[in-house]
Amino acid sequence: MIRKSEIRIAILEDNLDLQEELRFFLEAKGYSAWGQRSAEAFWRHLHANPVDVVLIDIGLPGENGFSVLEYLRELGSYGLIVMSARGSQQDRLRGMELGADAYLVKPVNFSDLVLTINQLWQRLQSQSSDSKPSKPVAPARWVLQDKCLSGPDGHEMLLTSQEARLISVLMRYPSEVCNKEVLHEHLFGFHDERDTHRVDVVLSRLRNKAQKQRMPLPIRVVFGKGVVFLADIP
């Protein structure tokens, strides 16, 4: 039997009326739920308020839902449900390819949503019981020593000088957005608003290296604002 109080749900929806309607409905049904209107706010809140299932709208301000979906699938065993007005076959396929467990087209019938959540939860519980518990992939503590970045899950990654400087700056201000002009100055020794794409190159190289080593980094690019490091540090 499903104990709904055990299921923690996040609602990523920029329409505040719909978000609150969903939250009130889910809480009335016995689930634990919270909501945010943007990816930036969602990542900040998720760090301190873990969940089991995430409801994701695609058309978000800044970082879109597809990007959030892809990164959540990299991070671990979340149940991921897309709820979007974008119902084309192309969008559905993209959502499923990026890791969605279900893709619901708005307007969503709330009873269908509850059924989807319960079926997904049962599948997640079955998968969990059939396999050994995995270490958390989104660790709470990260340490940078010289040019070696390590997380509490035991993974370590050697960095170049530029990558180490980038991580060092971001870790000074965890959960705060650093604009790319500031990062450019720390990386290259001078300020140039017109050449911040060089920061993107270093960041892309770093994330590709981490992905190859199966070490997802808690670094997010906030559209139009900068870069943020979302994990705690000692």
Listed range (12-21, 44-53, 95-104) with the worst mean pLDDT: 44-53
The pLDDT assigned to 133 comes to 42
Residue 130 has pLDDT above 80, yes or no: no
Residue 12 confidence (pLDDT): 97
Residue 200 or residue 100, greater confidence? 100
Q: What is the mean pLDDT of residues 124-147?
A: 62
Let me know if the fold of 4-130 is the same as that of 143-229.
Answer: no
Q: What is the mean pLDDT of residues 55-73?
A: 88
The rounded distance, in Å, linking the Cα atoms of 170 and 43 is 15
Q: Mean pLDDT, to the nearest integer, of 202-219?
A: 83
Q: 167-171: long-range contacts (C-beta < 8 A, 24 or more apart)?
A: 167/206, 167/229, 168/144, 170/219, 170/227, 170/228, 170/229, 171/142, 171/144, 171/229, 171/233
CB neighbour list of residue 126: distance below 8 Å, 6 or more residues apart? none
Is the pLDDT assigned to residue 116 strictly greater than 90? Answer: yes
Domain boundaries, the chain: 4-130, 143-229
Per CATH, the number for 143-229 is: 1.10.10.10
Lowest mean per-residue pLDDT among 2-6, 36-40, 124-128, 139-143: 139-143
Q: In the structure, what pLDDT confidence band is assigned to residue 19 with cuts at 50, 70 and 90? A: very high
pTM over 0.95: no
Q: In this model, does residue 161 exceed pLDDT 60?
A: yes
pLDDT, residue 138, reads: 42
CA distance 75 to 47: 12
Residue, of 68 and 21, whose pLDDT is higher? 21
Q: Is the pLDDT of residue 38 over 70?
A: yes
Q: How far apart are CA 229 and CA 224, in angstroms?
A: 16
Question: Could you give the 3-state DSSP secondary structure of residue 145?
Answer: strand
**pLDDT confidence of residue 232:** 62
Which pLDDT belongs to residue 13? 96
- When mean pLDDT is compared across 18-32, 75-89, 102-116, 174-188, the lowest value belongs to 174-188
8 and 30 Cβ atoms separated by less than 8 Å: no
At residue 102, the pLDDT reads 94
pLDDT mean over 152-175 = 84
- State the pLDDT confidence band at 136, using cuts at 50, 70 and 90: very low
Say whether pLDDT at 129 is over 70: no
4-130 CATH: 3.40.50.2300
Can you state the angle between helices 110-130 and 16-28, rounded to 10 degrees? 60
Lowest-confidence region among 48-52, 59-63, 230-234: 230-234
